[in-house]
A and B are shown apart, each in its own frame.
Chain A
Amino acid sequence: ETGVTQSPTHLIKTRGQQVTLRCSSQSGHNTVSWYQQALGQGPQFIFQYYREEENGRGNFPPRFSGLQFPNYSSELNVNALELDDSALYLCASSQQRGTEAFFGQGTRLTVV
């Protein structure tokens, strides 16, 4: 059973650019959630996908968007990057909503 994997592990982008982060969920998991973790803070919920549909969203602007694919892998897209978007982005998958979530190692995004 493979765990949650995220790519890339590190990324540097320029303000105003767009970025796509990827996540492969753990085998058998149909729910994927994305979190943003700023330095020294706890993770903040961005949105969640269940069977390819968004079914929950945190307090993030529309320039944060996502997708979930039929194999339950997922993408997080961020447009018009701002300096404050610099953070660790974590993906989590779970077998069904409400069960324990298992996290990937994260993508560290730096916006300069």
Chain B
Amino acid sequence: AQKVTQAQTEISVVEKEDVTLDCVYETRDTTYYLFWYKQPPSGELVFLIRRNSFDEQNEISGRYSWNFQKSTSSFNFTITASQVVDSAVYFCALPNSGNTPLVFGKGTRLSVIA
């Protein structure tokens, strides 16, 4: 069965610091997708990225970047120059198998202090 581990339960940083959120996954699928979602205090899960396992290139979107390493089954997320608005719970996820819904990690709560 698929499994996602986010070992960091809570992280606290000072504004403008860089922070990396770790995600390690287990899957028996040879091809799969990986996702990151952000959950602000309002509760809605905000989609951040979907990555195909074929594509191991790092991706950058503004202050966000993702490092996918298939050899270590990791898909880490870095926020550069963190801001208070980045404070949220971040979830890593992958589909249960094929096209079926998502298996989530337990999340990492990020607090950015001004």
Interface residues of A in 65-103 (CB under 8 A from B): 88, 90, 92, 96-103
What is the distance, in angstroms, from A34's C-beta to the closest C-beta of chain B?
Answer: 9
A88 touches B99 (CB 8 A): no
Chain B: interface residue count, which band? Answer: 20 to 34
Closest to A48 in B: B101
| Contact stretch, chosen from B37-45, B56-64, B66-74, B75-83 | B37-45
A-B contact pairs, 14 of them (CB 8 A): A43-B91, A44-B104, A45-B96, A45-B101, A45-B103, A56-B96, A90-B43, A97-B100, A100-B35, A101-B47, A101-B102, A102-B47, A103-B45, A104-B44
A97-B100, A103-B46 are known contacts; what are 16 more A-B pairs with Cβ within 8 Å? Answer: A33-B102, A35-B101, A40-B106, A42-B4, A45-B102, A48-B100, A88-B43, A90-B43, A97-B99, A98-B33, A101-B47, A101-B101, A103-B44, A104-B44, A105-B44, A106-B44
